[in-house]
């Protein structure tokens, strides 16, 4: 985490929820939101920790990880500029059920939990948009849970590369074997084998700490149906 910019700057419209709001609600929210830069690997909240903020990403991607007792992790949901982090608060919870970690560096707008009730009552369209996204979030949990249980590692890897690509401004994705192991809950050997299959299909090319998308259409062909369902 780095610098805080009071009142969020000029990039509020980068977030789809905020971009759809009427001018009067957006003007009201500007006095409550703070823009923050974050780096890949930043932990927004951990399992069972109190949820202190709602986050509305403007750029980058945040993954929500299930964490097992032995430390094994797997991503069950993700959000970027299309949504927000903190659905648990809207659903009545106070503690995080999953670990939220930045998968790509970016920026986000931060809203203090203590201010949330008053803001929701004063900005009804904002409140409605957050509730709608909660439905999207829950559907994503269900879809990705089924994906992890039913689909091959290579299909899941292709699907996650597409999801990261959707939220990136580049074909070069800052993903390592280690980060992919954590995301997919797989051994390094399984990731290497799956990546080799995608490279053989001329969909991607691996490098040092990055994966380049060579042909998105080919990558879609290698993915399961989950990416299309989630979009």
Convert the pLDDT of each residue in 155-210 to its tens digit: 999 999 999 999 888 899 999 999 999 999 999 999 999 999 999 999 999 877 89
User: How far is Cα 169 from Cα 207, in angstroms, rounded to an integer?
Assistant: 18
Phi, psi of 90 (to 5 degrees): -70, -25
Give mean pLDDT, residues 33-62: 94
Under the banding of pLDDT at 50, 70 and 90, the label for residue 11 is confident
> Whole-prediction pTM value?
0.89
* pLDDT for residue 47 is more than 80: yes
* pLDDT for residue 3 is more than 80: no
Between residues 1 and 198, which one has the greater pLDDT?
Answer: 198
What DSSP assignment string belongs to 123-149? -HHHHHHHHHHHHHHHHHHHHHHHHHH
Burial zone of 221 (CB within 10 Å; 0-12 exposed, 13-18 middle, 19+ buried): exposed
Q: What is the pLDDT of residue 17?
A: 96
The enclosing H or E element of 171 equals none
User: Tokens 């931060």 label which residue?
Assistant: 110
Average per-residue pLDDT for the chain: 91
Which three-class secondary structure state does DSSP give residue 26? helix
Q: What is the pLDDT of residue 49?
A: 95
Q: What is the pLDDT of residue 209?
A: 83
* pLDDT for residue 12 is more than 90: no
pLDDT digits (tens, 9 = 90+) for 128-160: 999 999 999 999 999 999 998 999 999 999 999
Please tell me the total number of residues recorded for the chain in this structure. Answer: 231
CA trace torsion 209, 224, 76, 183 (10° rounding): -20
Q: Give the chain's domains with CATH numbers.
A: 4-147 (2.60.120.10), 151-230 (1.10.10.10)
The residues pairing with 33 across neighbouring beta strands, listed in sequence order, are none
Q: Tell me if 206 sits within 8 A of 179, measured CB to CB.
A: no
* pLDDT for residue 8 is more than 50: no
Q: What is the pLDDT of residue 81?
A: 94
* pLDDT for residue 7 is more than 70: no
* pLDDT for residue 107 is more than 80: yes
In 3D, which of 53, 16, 62 has the Cα closest to residue 35?
A: 53
Under the banding of pLDDT at 50, 70 and 90, the label for residue 2 is very low
């Amino acid at each position: 985490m780095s610098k805080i910019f009071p009142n969020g700057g000029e990039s509020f419209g980068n977030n789809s929820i905020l971009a759809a709001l009427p001018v009067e609600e957006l003007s009201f929210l500007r006095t409550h939101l703070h823009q923050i830069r974050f780096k890949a690997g930043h932990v927004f909240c951990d399992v069972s920790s109190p949820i202190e903020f709602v986050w509305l990403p403007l750029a980058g991607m945040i993954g929500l990880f299930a964490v097992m007792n032995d430390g094994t992790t797997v991503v069950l949901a993700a959000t970027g500029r299309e949504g927000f982090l903190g659905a648990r608060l809207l659903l009545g919870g106070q503690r995080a059920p999953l670990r939220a970690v930045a998968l790509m560096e970016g920026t986000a707008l931060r809203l203090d939990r203590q201010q949330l009730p008053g803001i929701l009552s004063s900005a009804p369209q904002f409140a409605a948009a957050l509730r709608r996204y909660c439905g999207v979030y829950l559907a994503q949990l269900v879809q990705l849970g089924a994906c992890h249980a039913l689909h091959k590692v290579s299909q899941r890897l292709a699907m996650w590369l597409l999801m990261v690509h959707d939220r990136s401004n580049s074909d070069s994705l800052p993903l390592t074997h280690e980060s992919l192991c954590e995301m997919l809950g797989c051994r390094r050997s399984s990731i290497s084998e799956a990546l080799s299959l995608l490279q053989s299909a001329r969909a991607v090319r691996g490098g040092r700490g990055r994966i380049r998308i060579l042909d998105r259409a080919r990558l879609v062909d290698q993915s399961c149906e989950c990416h299309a369902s989630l979009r």
